[in-house]
Structure 1
Amino acid sequence: MRLLFLAVLRRHTGNAVTAERVRDHLEAAGHVCLLKDAFDLESSSEVAHLIRAENLEAALALHLYRGGRLLQGHGIPFGIIFGGTDLNEDVKQREKNEVMGRVLGEARFAVAFTESMKETAQTQWPHARDKIYIQSQGVMTVPNAAFNWNTFLHRSGINQSADNLHIFLLVCGLRHVKDPLYLVDAFSEWHREEPNVYMVIVGPEAMDLEVPVLARNIPGNAAVVKHEVTGLLFSDPQDFVQLAKRLVREPALEKELVANGREYVRRYHSWQAERDTYQNLVRTLEGSTGE
């Protein structure tokens, strides 16, 4: 099947990483998946032209509002993947909320990343509750035994052994709420007090690395990280430093967070289960026409 996949594709963001991963799942099942940046398509007529020119049979969109609204009324079946922006921000704006409700009415299915996202969507749009799915459970393993911390530190300009350091990885995107410089001032002050603590800013990362997670307390993070169970949630830079110092002081807490985080990823964010979910849902689009 020839599929159009709309997503916001700014580099190094969660949207772009997720879109590439989902496209890989679909192409592994034999589909042709044309991935396009939703921001490059300014109108529904442009999408209609693209569908005709590429002989596309069905579609998928990441973000109910940003991508899904462009798929209405074209006579091809489509599915939706909720983004955090849909349920944490756009849902609060009446006009966008109404648009998203209409998109869900036409969509054949919608996928939420977490149970809390699914519950929020079902509350907002009860008419679509039976077509909202959550990614299923399974087992996930990522080989990372070959990673050499000392080599990484040397390349980062930190000329000390990893055995003597406490290193915090800042996983971030580009939106204001994920500002990569949010913690710099507070962390720099701590580093001046204790030179063996460092912060390293990186792109995509995850609980599966078997390191404790400290995340900013915003809805998207809180849906995944449960405070003092699968990780720690901080409200401001000073709070982050205090929680980080607690991790350094309490190795038992670090060990517990690592174990719980790893188990959470294994149960709820399985790469194989995610692949199975999207491949199975997209099959429901085959051989059908838009309503």
Structure 2
Amino acid sequence: MRLLLLACLRAQTGNATTAARIQNHLHAAGHICVLKDAFMYESPTEIANLASADKFDAALAIHLYKGGRLLQGSRIPFGIIFGGTDVNEDTKCEEKHRVMGAVLGEARFAVAFTVKMKELAAAEWPDARKKIHVQAQGIKTTPSETFDWYRFLQNADWHRRDPSVHLGIIGPAVDPLFTSEVKEKVKRAPGVHLLQEVPQDDLHAAMKRCFAVVNSSISEGMSAAILEAMDLDIPVLARNILGNAAIIKHKETGLLFSDPQEFVVLSESLMNDPIMEREIVTRAKDYVKKHHSWESERKAYQNLVLRLQ
């Protein structure tokens, strides 16, 4: 089949990484899967014209609203992959809720990363429950062997070799206003460093040189960064929200915090207890191997797209 995959494709973001991984799974099964950035299109008519001109047989979209709205009334069959903002944020908007319900009604199938995400979606759109499949993200980490850690530090303006703890914030500037606010706060926070995005294999190499990975998101579907840290034997401290709590069991496979004060307490306890650190890392690695198999994810998507024939 010739498949169209719509997603938000900003480089080095979770959506782009997930889309590329799914594309790889489908290519391996002999399909042609073409990625298109959902932000480049404004209406279902544009996608209908694209599907007709490029002779797509079927389509997939990540996010019911951001991608799925463009497939409304599609002449080709399609499937949907839930994003975290679908059930965590967009359901709060009446118009987005209506659109997402319509998209879900037309989709041949939908994929939720967790059972909790499926239950939240099924509570909003009960008629769609039977078509929602649960498939966790599959993880395969590939740290670069040529990554220059010291050059990375220098580029981050870490000129002084200070033995105190440092926090590096790495990633693309998606929201200009929020980015400017963060930059101003970082200027007034010694030991905190704002770094540009790097290729995934370099990021994995950088993570392996860190003591822990922090996820402070206030809304998550399923954080691949957390799962990658677990796979790389790096302990994780994450904000206690539904998406994070779905993949982290507190003090067993990671540490969950609810406020800055608890974050500091948990961080210090992790730094001062190497036995706890080792046990968390071991259990987290086992969890990822058992529940986030890259091979299982590949088989799941290869089987699901057969429903679009």
Pair in the same fold by TM > 0.5: yes
Determine if contact 1:187/1:241 at 8 Å carries over to the other structure.
no
From the superposition, tell whether residues 251 and 184 of structure 1 become closer, same or farther in structure 2 (CA, over 3 Å).
farther
Partner residue in 2 for 1:28:
28
The one of 202, 206, 213 equivalent to 2:236 is 213
Aligned residue number for residue 304 of structure 2: 281
CA distance in 2, matches of 1:230, 1:90: 30
Deviation per CA, 1:133-182, whole angstroms, max 9, x where unpaired? 111699x66565x8589x52464246999xx8877665656567x97959
Report the counterpart of residue 68 of structure 1 in structure 2: 68
The 3 A distance-change label for structure 1 pair 97 and 128 is same
Give the corresponding residue for 2:248. Answer: 225
Gapped runs of 5+ residues in structure 1? Answer: 192-196, 287-291
SS in 1 for 2:3: strand
- Give the direction of change, closer, same or farther, for the CA distance of 1:201–1:123 in structure 2 (3 Å limit): closer
Aligned to 2:116: 116
In structure 2, the residue matched to 1:12 is: 12
* Aligned CA distance change for structure 1 residues 242 and 181 (closer, same or farther; 3 Å): farther
CA distance in 2 between partners of 1:40 and 1:79 (Å)? 20
TM-align CA RMSD: 3.5
**Does 1:78 pair with 2:101?**
no
1:135 and 1:200 map into 2 onto residues whose CA distance is: 24
**Partner residue of 1:92?**
92
SS in 2 for 1:34: strand
Letter of the 1:228 partner, please give it.
K
Return the alpha-carbon distance in structure 1 between the equivalents of residues 23 and 243 of structure 2.
Answer: 23
1:95-119 alpha-carbon deviations (Å, 9 max, x no partner): 2112111111110111111121122
Runs of 4+ residues deviating >6 angstroms:
158-161, 164-169, 197-203
Match of 1:156 in 2: 153
Amino acid at match of 2:104: L
Query: Is 1:122–1:128's contact at 8 Å kept on the other side of the alignment?
Result: yes
User: Which AA in structure 2 matches 1:156?
Assistant: L
Q: Percent identity?
A: 52
Amino acid at match of 1:114: T
Query: Partner amino acid for 1:8?
Result: C
Paired residues of 1:9 and 1:16 also in contact (CA < 8 A): yes
Name the SS for the 1:284 alignment partner: helix
Q: Using the TM superposition, name which of 41-50 and 262-271 deviates more.
A: 262-271
Aligned to 1:194: none
Q: Is the 8 A contact 2:26 2:33 kept in 1?
A: yes
Q: Secondary structure at the match of 2:85?
A: helix
Which of 1 and 2 has higher RCO (CA within 8 Å, sep 6+)? 1
Counterpart CA distance in 1 for 2:101 and 2:302 is 25
